[in-house]
Chain A
Amino acid sequence: MESLVNRYRNLTILLLVIFAQFLLLAVQVKNDQDVRIIRVWTVTAVTPFARVVELLRGGSVGFIRNYILLHDEDAENRRLREQVGSLKLENIFLKNELNTAERAKALGVFQARIPSKTLAATVIGTGAGSNAKVVYVDAGSARGVERGMAVVTPDGIVGKVIAAYPTASEILLATDADFAAGVVSQDGGVRGTLKGQGTPLLKVDYVPISEKVQTGQWFYTSGDDRIFPRGFPVGVVQSVRDAQPFKEILVDPAGLRHGLEDVLIITQGVHQDIPPTPATDQPVYIAPAPPDGSKPDAPAATGAAPPITEADKLRQAYQASGEAQGHKFGSGESGPPNFTGLTTSLPQTPAPAAAPGAGPKPAPGVTTKTTDSTRHSNQANGEPTGSKQR
């Protein structure tokens, strides 16, 4: 037996090492827990080097631009060319500096504006896997970061802390397939679950087909997941499609749109209101009527109220018909006037410009009454009798 083990020593050790790692893997998967100590060692060992590298990069970029590129230039032409080049680089450098300052300022303003307590952090590395949707930031448990805290930028949510080490924290980005969060539409009418897909776009799941969701609509955190406080922007709906059994809604994550350098970790979340939907029925300015009185029957020009609606016209037609029969409205002295045949002719009254004989011909009795009513109407408007028949 011993000779057998000695003979296959290498293979035995290989199997033992593989078995040990399988065991490690099985324990983690079964208990859904990490072997934290190994990660702490590695992260604590690697992140200081990452910081040093970042410092060296920042310092060396400035050194190379400001010193080495301008060193040993004797030819005037070359010197000028390189000077222009270095000025361009400096310009880019200053623009970057300005961007950094503006970003820091925006972050500061945002930090002061929101009711939640936050901690600013800088991204110092990505996950080691080739499909990694995780990043490392330079704030860890020593600064109060805990697993499960939400990570945001002024533009929107970024992800959540999945591990907090003494010197750094690991952030699971919203685009990762394991990410999920509760969201609500801006008008508050549609609730769903935001899910990462491993692609740049996120998916809002569990929205019934009957709900109305439109492209361009904003989604905000709902606060239901107990990770993200309510009211943080998530993203804009890029596409909506009816699928079974729920709608298929894809959202462009606002927090990851412009790259990721500085983030805020929410150490103490406070729910806030979702900004109101911009009103679609905005008040419309209407200019005053032209003062020249170009319309002869305009109220301002005549001073009398013209028949505006069909009801007005109808009332005046009845009034004219009654007066033509000698009836005095409101006195109660005479019997009711005879309106027989008047109602059938009324819908045909608006034809003042029609040539005589043109169009359907009303009954003879009705024609008289209609003419009377038109006359009365014209009189009320201050026009000469029969002017509309001209």
Chain B
Amino acid sequence: MRAALTVTLSGLALAPAWAADVAISVQIPRINQAEYHRPYVAIWLEQERKHVADLAVWYDIKLRNNEGTKWLKDMRQWWRVSGRDLDMPVDGLSQVTRPPGEHRVAIDSKNPAFEKLPAGAYNLVVEAAREVGGRELVRVPFEWPPKKAERGEASGSRELGKVAIELNP
């Protein structure tokens, strides 16, 4: 578990004074279902229920003619606050879907979402929607920038397992 939350660090000297290292992990549960498709997952930051920045969108980026975008709207909260305003694929955001297991979302200190993030209280939001399956959204609150090593965690009950954010000043 700990190992999956590897902290990535690079270019500390170039980052703003309050830059911290951020590690995010998302657990995709194993679901026994005859027709199983990997979930679409959107990961973003919000403040007071307002969208701040997208971190990653896992979807079927390999389908021909961008057809994997057909199900992006099933992540309906993300679609409302951001997805419908984007022209997917977006570099640095669009990524392949992941199988069941724990996945680290690599965020380095120069990630544009965090680099200019004003100090304050935020939520990490993870929304998963699965074709012929369900949908779930998990929020993990955190403070930015971290004053000391911090870890926030929350769990979904069906379509998402543990969602964690680890911050190191």
On whether the two chains bind one another, the answer is no
